[in-house]
Amino acid sequence: MTSGYIILTLKFQREKRRWTAYCEELGTATFGRSLPEADKRLKEAVSLHLNTLEDVGERSRFFKEHGIKLYQSKPKEDITVCLPISNNMFIEPHIQSIPALSAA
Protein backbone atom coordinates (compact mmCIF):
# COMPACT_ATOMS: atom_id res chain seq x y z
CA MET A 1 0.00 0.00 0.00
CA THR A 2 1.36 3.43 -0.97
CA SER A 3 1.21 6.33 1.48
CA GLY A 4 2.50 8.87 -1.01
CA TYR A 5 5.28 9.97 -3.32
CA ILE A 6 8.45 12.02 -3.11
CA ILE A 7 10.37 13.81 -5.84
CA LEU A 8 14.11 13.23 -5.86
CA THR A 9 16.90 14.83 -7.88
CA LEU A 10 19.21 12.29 -9.51
CA LYS A 11 22.51 13.60 -10.89
CA PHE A 12 24.76 11.72 -13.27
CA GLN A 13 28.27 12.70 -14.34
CA ARG A 14 30.74 10.96 -16.61
CA GLU A 15 34.16 10.51 -15.07
CA LYS A 16 36.54 8.85 -17.52
CA ARG A 17 35.01 5.43 -18.33
CA ARG A 18 32.30 5.46 -15.65
CA TRP A 19 29.19 7.40 -14.74
CA THR A 20 28.79 8.50 -11.13
CA ALA A 21 25.23 8.78 -9.85
CA TYR A 22 24.02 10.75 -6.84
CA CYS A 23 20.64 11.41 -5.20
CA GLU A 24 20.79 14.94 -3.88
CA GLU A 25 18.08 14.61 -1.20
CA LEU A 26 19.19 11.27 0.27
CA GLY A 27 22.96 11.51 -0.26
CA THR A 28 22.88 8.07 -1.90
CA ALA A 29 25.57 7.46 -4.53
CA THR A 30 26.81 4.74 -6.86
CA PHE A 31 28.34 4.34 -10.34
CA GLY A 32 27.98 2.39 -13.56
CA ARG A 33 29.87 1.71 -16.79
CA SER A 34 27.05 3.34 -18.75
CA LEU A 35 24.42 5.97 -18.01
CA PRO A 36 21.56 3.40 -18.03
CA GLU A 37 23.52 1.14 -15.64
CA ALA A 38 24.25 4.05 -13.27
CA ASP A 39 20.56 5.07 -13.42
CA LYS A 40 19.39 1.55 -12.57
CA ARG A 41 21.90 1.16 -9.73
CA LEU A 42 21.01 4.53 -8.22
CA LYS A 43 17.28 3.79 -8.26
CA GLU A 44 17.97 0.45 -6.54
CA ALA A 45 20.15 2.22 -3.93
CA VAL A 46 17.44 4.84 -3.35
CA SER A 47 14.85 2.09 -2.74
CA LEU A 48 17.20 0.32 -0.33
CA HIS A 49 17.92 3.58 1.51
CA LEU A 50 14.21 4.37 1.86
CA ASN A 51 13.38 0.81 2.98
CA THR A 52 16.14 0.96 5.60
CA LEU A 53 14.82 4.28 6.92
CA GLU A 54 11.40 2.66 7.26
CA ASP A 55 12.80 -0.51 8.89
CA VAL A 56 14.56 1.50 11.61
CA GLY A 57 11.63 3.87 12.11
CA GLU A 58 13.51 6.97 10.94
CA ARG A 59 11.72 7.87 7.70
CA SER A 60 9.52 10.67 9.07
CA ARG A 61 12.39 12.27 10.98
CA PHE A 62 14.76 12.03 8.00
CA PHE A 63 12.21 13.55 5.62
CA LYS A 64 11.57 16.43 8.00
CA GLU A 65 15.28 17.12 8.59
CA HIS A 66 16.07 17.03 4.86
CA GLY A 67 13.02 18.95 3.65
CA ILE A 68 11.63 16.04 1.65
CA LYS A 69 7.95 16.67 0.92
CA LEU A 70 5.55 13.71 0.87
CA TYR A 71 2.83 14.09 -1.80
CA GLN A 72 -0.47 12.27 -1.27
CA SER A 73 -1.03 11.77 -5.02
CA LYS A 74 1.46 11.07 -7.76
CA PRO A 75 2.93 14.26 -9.25
CA LYS A 76 2.48 14.80 -12.98
CA GLU A 77 4.58 12.55 -15.19
CA ASP A 78 5.98 15.40 -17.28
CA ILE A 79 8.58 16.25 -14.62
CA THR A 80 10.50 13.02 -15.30
CA VAL A 81 12.30 14.41 -18.35
CA CYS A 82 16.07 13.88 -18.23
CA LEU A 83 17.85 17.23 -18.50
CA PRO A 84 21.28 17.17 -20.15
CA ILE A 85 23.57 19.81 -18.71
CA SER A 86 26.36 18.75 -21.06
CA ASN A 87 27.49 15.57 -22.81
CA ASN A 88 28.97 14.45 -19.49
CA MET A 89 26.27 15.51 -17.01
CA PHE A 90 22.54 14.84 -16.63
CA ILE A 91 19.95 15.71 -13.98
CA GLU A 92 16.82 13.59 -13.73
CA PRO A 93 13.84 14.36 -11.48
CA HIS A 94 12.56 11.02 -10.14
CA ILE A 95 9.17 10.24 -8.60
CA GLN A 96 9.49 7.54 -5.93
CA SER A 97 6.47 5.84 -4.36
CA ILE A 98 6.59 5.52 -0.58
CA PRO A 99 4.89 2.57 1.12
CA ALA A 100 2.59 3.20 4.07
CA LEU A 101 4.36 3.28 7.41
CA SER A 102 4.30 -0.09 9.12
CA ALA A 103 2.80 -0.42 12.57
CA ALA A 104 5.51 -0.32 15.23
Instruction: Render each residue's pLDDT in the chain as its tens digit; 104 residues.
Output: 568 899 999 999 999 999 999 999 999 999 999 999 999 999 999 999 999 999 999 999 999 999 999 988 887 755 545 556 677 888 888 889 887 765 54
Buried b (16+ CB within 10 A) or exposed e, 28-37: bebbbeebee
Global confidence as pTM: 0.82
Q: What is the CATH number of domain 2-99?
A: 3.30.160
Q: Locate the domains of the chain by residue range.
A: 2-99
CA distances (Å), origin 89, targets 53, 65, 83: 29, 28, 9
